[in-house]
Amino acid sequence: MNNLAIFPIIFPLLAGTILAFTHSNIKQSRSLAKFFASGNLLGAIYLVYYVSQNGTIVLETGDWVAPYGIVIVMDMLSAILVLTTNIIVVAAIFYAPHSISMKQEKHYFYAFFFFLISGVSGAFLTGDLFNLFVFFEVLLIASYALIVLGGDKVQLRESLKYVLINVFSSILFVTAVAFLYGVVGTVNMAQIAERVQEVDQQGILTTIGILLFFVFATKAALFPLYYWLPKSYIVPNPVVSAIFAALLTKVGIYSIIRVFSLIFVHKLDMTHDMFIWIAGLSMIFGVIGALSTNNIKLIIAYNIIPAIGFIMMGIGFYNRAGMSGSIYYLVHDMIIKSALFLLVGIIAYVAGTSDLRKMKGLINSYPLLGWLLFLAAFILAGIPPFSGFIGKLQLLKGAFANGEIVIGLIALGTSLLILYSVMKIFIRGFWGEQTPQQSIDKKSISGMVGPVVFLLSCSVILGIGAEFFVPTIDSIAEYLLDPQQYIDSVLKE
Partner 1 sequence: MEIIISILAGIIFAVAVYNLLQKQMVRIIIGTVLISHAAHLFILTMGKLKRGQPPILTEGITSYTDPLPQALILTSIVISFGLTSLMLVLAYRTAKENNTDNMEQLRGKPNE
Binding-site ranges for partner 1 (CB under 8 A): 130, 133-134, 137, 141, 144, 148, 151, 153-154, 156-161, 163-164, 167-168, 170-171, 174-175, 177-179, 181-182, 187, 231, 294-295, 355
Q: How far is the CB of 129 from partner 1 (least distance, A)?
A: 10
Q: Report the DSSP pairing between strands 57-60 and 71-74.
A: antiparallel
Q: How far is the CB of 295 from partner 1 (least distance, A)?
A: 8
Alpha-carbon gap, residue 381 to 389, rounded angstroms: 8
Paired strand residues for 57: 74
Q: Which is nearer to partner 1, 50 or 144 (CB)?
A: 144
Q: How far is the CB of 409 from partner 1 (least distance, A)?
A: 32
Q: H-type helices in 126-202, by residue range?
A: 129-148, 153-184, 189-198
Q: What is the CA radius of gyration of the chain?
A: 22
Alpha-carbon gap, residue 109 to 111, rounded angstroms: 6
Q: H-type helices in 318-386, by residue range?
A: 320-351, 362-365, 367-381
Q: Which is nearer to partner 1, 88 or 259 (CB)?
A: 259
Collapse the DSSP code of 215 into the 3-class scheme (helix H, G, I; strand E, B; otherwise coil) and give the result: helix
CA distances from 218 to 43, 123, 162 (A): 31, 16, 11
Q: How far is the CB of 164 from partner 1 (least distance, A)?
A: 6
CA distance from start to end of the chain = 21
Q: How far is the CB of 256 from partner 1 (least distance, A)?
A: 21
Q: Which is nearer to partner 1, 151 or 385 (CB)?
A: 151
* Amino acid, single-letter form, for residue 245: A
CB 330 within 8 A of CB 407: no
Alpha-carbon gap, residue 341 to 464, rounded angstroms: 23
CB 296 within 8 A of CB 425: yes
Q: Which is nearer to partner 1, 105 or 128 (CB)?
A: 128
CB 85 within 8 A of CB 125: no
Q: Which is nearer to partner 1, 295 or 326 (CB)?
A: 295
Collapse the DSSP code of 58 into the 3-class scheme (helix H, G, I; strand E, B; otherwise coil) and give the result: strand
Q: How far is the CB of 423 from partner 1 (least distance, A)?
A: 21
Q: How far is the CB of 184 from partner 1 (least distance, A)?
A: 11
Q: Which is nearer to partner 1, 145 or 339 (CB)?
A: 145
Beta carbons within 10 angstroms of residue 116's beta carbon: 26
Q: Which is nearer to partner 1, 80 or 148 (CB)?
A: 148
Q: Which is nearer to partner 1, 148 or 381 (CB)?
A: 148
CA distances from 229 to 155, 159, 163, 172 (A): 13, 11, 11, 19
Q: How far is the CB of 176 from partner 1 (least distance, A)?
A: 10
Q: Which is nearer to partner 1, 159 or 324 (CB)?
A: 159
Q: How far is the CB of 148 from partner 1 (least distance, A)?
A: 7
